[in-house]
Structure 1
């Protein structure tokens, strides 16, 4: 199986052109090369899925990752088939003939909305998630799409760092309880607040980060006030939110906290909604995320 197989397909979907924006073609060629490099580095081959057996394997993998209740699959084979046939993005990462990663996105007004991605637990730590996103960028540029959006739980520190510091995505909006009550093994009982991020695929910094992985280091402004921090017991402590620059801390491992201290995890959900959610609703901007787990936020100066 060639790592470049995703570059051709039999059905492109209605209204999904290739190389129609000026300059996108050149970006796409470089993006494909970056994707092939990322696949080699992580030891996988990524390609679009097109057969029923592949869709069913993808559904099973996502269910293993999120652990939904029996009889309530996270996503169905029929939906993946529909996405793929309509020209959306449905891709899998393979190690030999074993599917170990899945990424699914659908066409949207902004370009492509990346709905879900998951990697088999036995294959984590190999940058397969990164390789899937780099492949998704190449696929999008080949289809003249220059922006990808997705949501993530703002309390999950590793995802915040991956999305903002490694991929260079930009926070657009705080979405309280976006998916309503969720009953899968990852999200059950904790609410579904999400951050919506946008990924500018034509940004030179994004292109360089996909070619040669690096981190957008967020410098902590010395004058930044503390909008949210943790006390000695690991519980959230709210601070004033009237400074121009603020830091908003989240737990280092909210997933472990949900299991060990669910009450504390819920307190963090409420505190983050009150601080980061309120700041973004007022027009503030997230300017970065630090290695030690703090969002950097800048409010608009009054004037």
Structure 2
């Protein structure tokens, strides 16, 4: 059961060697890494924090680090610059307490302080909870998709872009649209339709069904999801969205088994990627 937001947490930019070491340890523990090449160097975090990047943490009242994110300045092939958030982690004991939101909002302030106007990061498209946070909670968009982002199987990633100083969200009303009734047999497949915006205009839309929780969890039907096959279907569908220049604007839970992404045509004024 989610815990209520806790006001005793504090969020700050990491500055000391002790904090950077604690962040590296939290990162390794949360991701379950046991190979040295996947570890995080505290010296790197210090250098990033001093030179246009971010290293932010959330602490309990007992000064325990329970959340952490880091990033750096990036530039894509089009010459667009942004703050790239490489990772954000939350201690498992504090999931659902609003720690992730505290992290991203502080990282946003740090990025704006460096003069960045957008932030990007990636996430695994099979994780509906992360998608809901990115799109529905933060108000970011899925602007791209990269197969095998880390050059190894199982690392397909959706590219997220968050406008840090946008005064109005052009997709705000669309993020609240209820998806159609979809189930496990629809996972990874696209359902076409339309959605009505607040101004009455009707826009083409597509729903992409995914598991509402990580495959293999207790609500996974019979616990027999073929994850490799599901990832292949998701790859095909997300690649199609990129080809169509659609953006992902929401991921909504339908029931205990299924959630659905909403992909819509890019609205006027939004730069194509």
TM-score by shorter chain over 0.5: yes
| CA RMSD between the two structures | 3.1
Aligned to 2:270: none
**What TM-score results when the alignment is normalised by the length of structure 2?**
0.76
Q: What CA deviation, in whole Å up to 9, does each residue of 1:109-134 have, x standing for no partner?
A: 32211110111111222101101111
Residue 55 of structure 1 contacts residue 80 of structure 1 at CA under 8 Å; is this kept in 2?
Answer: yes
Q: Pick the aligned partner of 1:94 from 59, 73, 82.
A: 59
Q: Pick the aligned partner of 1:218 from 164, 169, 176.
A: 176
Larger Rg: 1
Residue 257 of structure 1 contacts residue 265 of structure 1 at CA under 8 Å; is this kept in 2?
Answer: no
Residue 279 of structure 1 contacts residue 299 of structure 1 at CA under 8 Å; is this kept in 2?
Answer: no
Aligned to 2:213: 253
Residues 1-303 of structure 1 mapped to structure 2, 5 A cutoff = 41-96=6-61, 97-109=63-75, 110-181=81-152, 191-205=154-168, 217-220=175-178, 230-231=184-185, 236=187, 238=189, 244-257=204-217, 261=223, 264-292=226-254, 293-298=259-264
Residue 90 of structure 1 contacts residue 105 of structure 1 at CA under 8 Å; is this kept in 2?
Answer: yes
**Displacement of 1:82:** 2.2
**Displacement of 1:295:** 1.1
Q: Secondary structure at the match of 2:144?
A: strand
The 3 A distance-change label for structure 1 pair 59 and 288 is same
Q: Secondary structure at the match of 1:60?
A: helix
**Displacement of 1:220:** 4.0
Give the structure with the higher percent helix.
Answer: 1
The 3 A distance-change label for structure 1 pair 52 and 215 is farther
Q: Secondary structure at the match of 2:57?
A: strand
Q: State the distance in 1 between where 2:161 and 2:238 align.
A: 17
Q: What CA deviation, in whole Å up to 9, does each residue of 1:80-127 have, x standing for no partner?
A: 122123231011111132111111011123221111011111122210
Question: What is the count of residue pairs matched by the alignment?
Answer: 239
Q: State the distance in 2 between where 1:89 and 1:237 align.
A: 34
**Displacement of 1:157:** 0.5
Moved more, 95-104 or 57-66: 95-104
**Displacement of 1:196:** 0.6
**Displacement of 1:216:** 7.1
Q: State the distance in 2 between where 1:266 and 1:257 align.
A: 16
Q: State the distance in 1 between where 2:129 and 2:223 align.
A: 19
**Displacement of 1:257:** 4.9
**Displacement of 1:290:** 2.0
Aligned to 1:25: none
Uncovered stretches (5+) of structure 1, i.e. residues with no partner = 1-39, 182-189, 207-213
Q: Secondary structure at the match of 1:68?
A: coil
